[in-house]
C-alpha cells in the first residue's frame, strides 16, 4: 500500500481501527507483513514481581503497626491498642494489595467476608466491655488514656463498618454469620465442650444466685413491711389499752369514793344482817351477775355497787370494799396492770360471820357468777361458785391479796 492508498483511505488520519493501525505500522517498517502476537516471560515476571512487592508491603505494614501496638501496650498496660492496630493492618493490606485476589477466587472472598463479620462483632463486644470498664474507671490506670483507647475503638469500628459496606455483596451475610455463631455456641455449650460449658455453668449459677438474692430481699422487705404493720397495729392496740386502763383507774377511784358514800342513801331504812341461807336466796334471785362486763365502762366496782344497792333495797346490810391485788393476769388483755384493785361485797351473816361475795361476771360467761371468797392478805384471790354451772370449772386466781380496804356499809 503506497501513500496514495493511505491518502485515499476514507478513514481519518487519526483512526485507531485495526486496519489503519496496521497500515501505519507497515508503512513505518515496524510491523511484519503478518502480525504475530509473541508470548514472552516478561509479563509473568512482571506479575510475580508485583505480587512479591505487595506481600512485602503488607508484611512490613503489619510488622510496623504490631511493634507500635506492643509499644503502646507497655506504656498503658493494655493489649487493646495492639489488637486494634493488628486488625487494621491486616484488613487495610487486603483491601489495598489483595482486593483482586479476593474477587477472583470465590473461596478466598468467602473467608475474607467471614473474617470481616467476626471482626466487627468482636469489636462491638469490645466497645461494650470497654465502655462499662471506662464508666467504672477500671479500663486503664488513667481515665484520660482510657478515653483515648475507647475513642480509637469507636473510630476503628466506623472504618471497618465502611469496609464491610463495600464488601456487602460478598457471601456470607451478617445475619447468617450471627445465626451460625449462636447455633454452634449453643450446641457446643450444652454438649459439654470446654470452656463454653464452664461458662454456661458459671453464668447459670450467677443468675440463680442473683434471682435467689432478689427473692430473699423481696421476702425480707415483705416481712419487714408486715412487721412494721404489726408493730403499728400493736401500738394502736397498746394506746387503746392504755386509754382503757386510765379510764378503769379513774372509775375505780370514783367507785371507792362512791362506796364511802353508798351507805348514806339508806339512813332511814332499817337494815339487818342475813343468815347464809337467806343470803343465798337473795343472790339466787338477784340478777346483778347477769349484767354484761364491758371494759372500761361497766367493771367490777359497777357490779359491786349494783349488788349493794339491790341488797339494801331488800333490807340487807351489804358492804362494799376493794382489795389490792398483785400479779393480776389480765385474762382478756384489757390492759389492766398486774398490780391493780378489785371491788367486791361483804355481808355480816348471823350464822357464818363476815362473808365476802364477788358477783362480777365476764363477757364470755352465761351462767351464775355469784361467788364466795376467803379474802386474806398474802393468799390467792380464788373465788368459788355458790351456784356451780354445769360444764364450767373452777374460777382462776386473780393474783395475791396485798391489802384489804375498809368496809363501806
In the chain, pLDDT over 90 holds for what percent of residues?
45
Q: What is the pLDDT of residues 59-100, one digit of tens each?
A: 999 999 999 999 998 888 888 999 999 999 999 999 999 988
As annotated, the residues of the chain forming the CATH 3.30.460 domain(s) are: 251-404
Q: What is the mean pLDDT of residues 180-188?
A: 87
Q: What is the pLDDT of residues 120-149, one digit of tens each?
A: 999 999 999 999 888 888 888 888 888 999
CA 382 to chain centre: 56
Where does the pLDDT of residue 347 fall: very low under 50, low under 70, confident under 90, or very high at 90 and above?
very high
Chain mean pLDDT for the chain: 83
pLDDT of the residue at 45: 65
Q: Which residues have C-beta within 8 Å of that of residue 309, sequence separation ≥ 6?
A: 262, 265
- Domain 251-404 coded CATH 3.30.460: yes
Q: What is the mean pLDDT of residues 14-23?
A: 73
Q: What is the mean pLDDT of residues 278-283?
A: 92
pTM assigned to the model? 0.43
Where does the pLDDT of residue 187 fall: very low under 50, low under 70, confident under 90, or very high at 90 and above?
confident
Where does the pLDDT of residue 246 fall: very low under 50, low under 70, confident under 90, or very high at 90 and above?
low
CA gap 222, 232 in Å, rounded? 15
Least confident of 123-127, 166-170, 269-273: 269-273
Q: What is the pLDDT of residues 352-378, one digit of tens each?
A: 999 999 999 887 777 889 999 999 999
1 vs 365, higher pLDDT: 365
Helix (H, G, I), strand (E, B) or coil at 185: helix
Do 140 and 149 meet the contact criterion of CB atoms below 8 Å apart? yes
248 vs 185, higher pLDDT: 185
31 vs 394, higher pLDDT: 394
Q: What is the mean pLDDT of residues 150-156?
A: 93
Q: Which of 343, 349, 270 is nearest to 308 (CA)?
A: 343
Question: Quick check: 119 pLDDT over 60?
Answer: yes
pLDDT of the residue at 248: 57
Written as nine digits, the cell of 264 is 348514806
Question: Quick check: 232 pLDDT over 90?
Answer: no
Where does the pLDDT of residue 330 fall: very low under 50, low under 70, confident under 90, or very high at 90 and above?
confident
Q: Going edge to edge, which strands form the sheet with 319-326?
A: 384-385, 371-373, 353-358, 340-349, 319-326, 400-404
Amino acid at each position: 500500500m503506497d501513500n496514495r492508498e493511505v491518502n485515499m483511505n476514507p478513514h481519518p488520519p487519526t483512526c485507531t481501527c485495526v486496519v489503519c493501525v496496521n497500515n501505519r505500522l507497515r508503512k513505518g517498517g515496524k510491523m511484519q507483513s503478518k502480525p504475530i502476537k509473541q508470548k514472552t516471560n516478561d509479563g509473568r515476571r512482571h506479575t510475580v514481581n508485583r505480587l512479591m512487592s505487595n506481600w512485602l508491603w503488607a508484611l512490613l505494614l503489619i510488622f510496623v503497626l504490631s511493634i507500635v501496638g506492643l509499644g503502646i501496650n507497655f506504656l498503658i498496660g493494655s493489649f487493646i491498642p495492639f489488637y486494634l492496630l493488628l486488625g487494621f493492618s491486616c484488613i487495610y493490606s487486603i483491601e489495598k494489595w489483595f482486593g483482586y485476589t479476593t474477587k477472583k477466587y470465590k473461596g478466598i472472598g468467602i473467608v475474607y467476608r467471614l473474617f470481616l463479620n467476626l471482626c466487627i462483632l468482636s469489636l462491638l463486644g469490645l466497645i461494650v466491655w470497654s465502655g462499662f470498664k471506662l464508666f467504672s474507671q477500671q479500663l486503664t490506670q488513667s481515665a484520660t488514656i482510657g478515653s483515648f483507647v475507647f475513642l480509637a475503638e469507636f473510630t476503628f469500628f466506623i472504618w471497618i463498618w465502611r469496609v464491610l459496606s463495600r464488601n456487602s455483596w460478598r457471601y456470607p451475610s451478617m445475619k447468617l454469620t450471627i445465626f451460625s455463631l449462636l447455633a454452634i455456641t449453643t450446641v457446643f455449650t450444652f454438649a459439654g465442650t470446654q470452656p463454653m460449658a464452664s461458662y454456661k455453668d458459671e453464668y447459670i449459677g450467677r443468675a440463680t444466685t442473683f434471682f435467689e438474692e432478689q427473692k430473699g430481699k423481696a421476702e425480707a422487705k415483705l416481712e419487714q413491711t408486715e412487721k412494721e404493720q404489726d408493730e403499728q397495729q400493736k401500738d394502736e392496740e397498746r394506746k387503746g389499752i392504755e386509754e382503757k386502763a386510765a379510764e378503769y383507774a379513774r372509775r375505780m377511784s370514783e367507785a371507792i369514793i362512791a362506796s364511802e358514800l353508798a351507805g348514806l342513801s339508806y339512813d332511814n331504812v332499817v337494815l339487818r344482817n342475813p343468815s347464809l341461807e337467806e343470803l343465798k336466796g337473795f343472790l339466787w334471785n338477784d340478777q346483778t351477775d347477769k349484767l354484761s362486763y364491758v371494759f372500761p365502762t361497766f367493771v367490777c366496782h359497777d357490779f359491786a355497787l349494783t349488788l349493794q344497792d339491790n341488797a339494801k333495797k331488800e333490807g340487807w346490810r351489804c358492804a362494799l370494799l376493794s382489795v389490792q391485788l398483785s400479779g393480776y393476769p389480765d385474762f382478756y388483755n384489757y390492759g389492766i396492770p398486774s398490780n391493780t384493785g378489785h371491788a367486791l361485797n361483804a355481808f355480816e351473816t348471823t350464822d357464818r360471820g363476815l362473808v365476802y361475795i364477788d358477783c362480777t361476771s365476764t363477757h364470755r360467761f352465761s351462767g351464775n357468777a355469784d361467788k364466795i371468797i376467803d379474802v386474806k392478805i398474802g393468799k390467792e384471790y380464788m373465788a368459788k361458785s355458790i351456784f356451780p354451772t354445769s360444764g364450767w370449772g373452777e374460777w382462776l386466781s386473780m393474783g395475791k391479796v396485798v391489802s384489804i380496804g375498809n368496809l363501806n356499809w
